[in-house]
Amino acid sequence: VYHGGRAVKLGRVEIRHEEDVLLPWRFEEENGRFSAVLTPRYDRDTATKLLFVNNRCHQVFGTFSGEFTAAGGARVPFSDVVGFAEHAVNRW
């Protein structure tokens, strides 16, 4: 996360979403320093099936809202930040 011209390093972020990828996605950092919800607006769904290859990718575009802990320790809320996340399953 970049804030005030400085990078704020996060730990492991768990991403949770429903089978229907157009429902909200939840992001939680392991130390509680970042939490956000992605509200999807569009799913760019691609699939490739050829012989033994079976790949599927959802690139979900929408807006993020949540909060994070800045370098100085203050909680910083944010909303309506445009971005994307993706979920891919690749079987070779």
Please write the tens of the pLDDT for every residue from 18-49. Answer: 999 999 999 999 999 999 999 999 999 888 88
Backbone angles phi, psi at 72, to 5 degrees: -85, -5
The answer to whether 17 and 87 are in contact (CB under 8 A) is yes
Q: Which two tokens stand for residue 92?
A: 């070779």
Per residue in 75-88, pLDDT tens? 999 999 999 999 98
The residue with tokens 């599927």 is 56
* pTM attached to this predicted model: 0.84
